[in-house]
Copies of this chain bind each other. A is one copy, B any other.
């Protein structure tokens, strides 16, 4: 039998090995590579989802390729009235290495999905309920935006800032497809004001006073209880 120390070292190896696979989102060289729940469990302190080591292909089951977690909105709405549930390799193992992921976003009346971008994927938004003002900004600071009706789709090019607002009078539901299994996300307000960038730099960048920056930093600092 092996000791606890051995086990701990094993877990360390598992953990390191798990990280090994993060390097690429290209064509698969096998039919599929189902992420292993053991590794997923080890990585729970990360809130991002990566390419994960795969379990033996002979143990694959149909359930590995099906996901039921997007049937309804999570009740967990943010301050801005947004609730997002993702289907990614950590909870939908069959996606691993296949270069796709999927999210469900519900937005309360008047709620918003603040300006953000995905460093590693183009997104295709599909409005299945409600009226949603949706758009993105290109490299020349032009905005492309309008209200999407139920059944319409919009494409948000890779790496460009985009945003949504429920402008109808009922809750809105959207589904987003990404052409990466881990699109990544940077939410502008918290990335800029909630990350600890030097205050003087922010004042100069936005032409705001020390006090104004201080207010914004307090609002978006994740350590502040909200």
A contact set with B: CB distance below 8 Å: 1-3, 5-6, 9-10, 13-17, 19-33, 36, 39, 45-48, 50-51, 53-58, 60-62, 64-68, 70-72, 80, 87, 92, 94-95, 97-100, 102, 110, 112, 114-115, 117, 119-120, 122, 124, 126, 128, 133, 135-146, 148-161, 163, 165, 175, 177, 179-182, 184-198, 200-202, 204-208, 212, 216, 219, 222
Contact of A165 among B24, B57, B62, B198 (CB under 8 A): B198
Q: Which residues of B lie under 8 Å from residue A140 when comparing CB positions?
A: 47-48, 57
Q: How many copies does the complex hold?
A: 6
Given contacts A16-B17, A142-B195, contact A58 B70 (CB under 8 A): no
Are A98 and B158 in contact, with the CB atoms below 8 A? yes
Identify which of A54, A180, A187 gathers the most chain B CB atoms within 10 Å of its CB: A54
Are A179 and B16 in contact, with the CB atoms below 8 A? no
Are A151 and B70 in contact, with the CB atoms below 8 A? yes
Nearest to A81 among chain B residues (CB) is B204
Are B3 and A197 in contact, with the CB atoms below 8 A? no
Contact of A2 among B2, B112, B204 (CB under 8 A): B2
Q: Nearest Cβ in chain B — how far from A13, in angstroms?
A: 6
Would you give 19 A-B contacts (Cβ < 8 Å), ordered by A? A16-B36, A24-B24, A24-B27, A46-B58, A65-B154, A102-B153, A102-B177, A110-B204, A114-B201, A114-B204, A114-B205, A137-B192, A137-B195, A137-B197, A159-B159, A159-B184, A163-B197, A189-B205, A207-B216
